[in-house]
Amino acid sequence: MTHSIYHDLTIKAPLAKVYKAITEPEDLINWWPLKYKGVPKENEACTFFINLFPF
């Protein structure tokens, strides 16, 4: 089973800053995953670790 998450939002920031925020692991983890593992390259696998049950 696979799951998909889609976001549609407007961001008021320079394109280069937005691109970096969603493509660089050290910036990407600031969005919502707790940890990131993988190689940020085309055709490579990436894993995002999130805490779905914080209780």
pLDDT in tens, 1-15: 787 777 788 889 999
**Does the residue 42 lie in any domain?**
yes
**Does the residue 37 lie in any domain?**
yes
The half-sphere exposure of 37 on its side-chain side, counting CA atoms within 13 A, is 3
Which tokens belong to 40? 């940020």
**Does the residue 2 lie in any domain?**
no
**Does the residue 35 lie in any domain?**
yes
Q: Please state, in angstroms and rounded to a whole number, the distance separating the CA atoms of residues 16 and 9.
A: 16
**Does the residue 22 lie in any domain?**
yes
Tell me, yes or no, if the pTM score tops 0.85.
no
On whether the CB atoms of residues 37 and 47 are closer than 8 A, the answer is: yes
pLDDT digits (tens, 9 = 90+) for 23-52: 887 887 777 667 778 877 888 887 777 766
**Does the residue 36 lie in any domain?**
yes
Q: Please state, in angstroms and rounded to a whole number, the distance separating the CA atoms of residues 51 and 30.
A: 14
Number of domains in the chain: 1
Could you tell me the residue range of the domain that residue 25 belongs to?
A: 15-49
**Does the residue 19 lie in any domain?**
yes
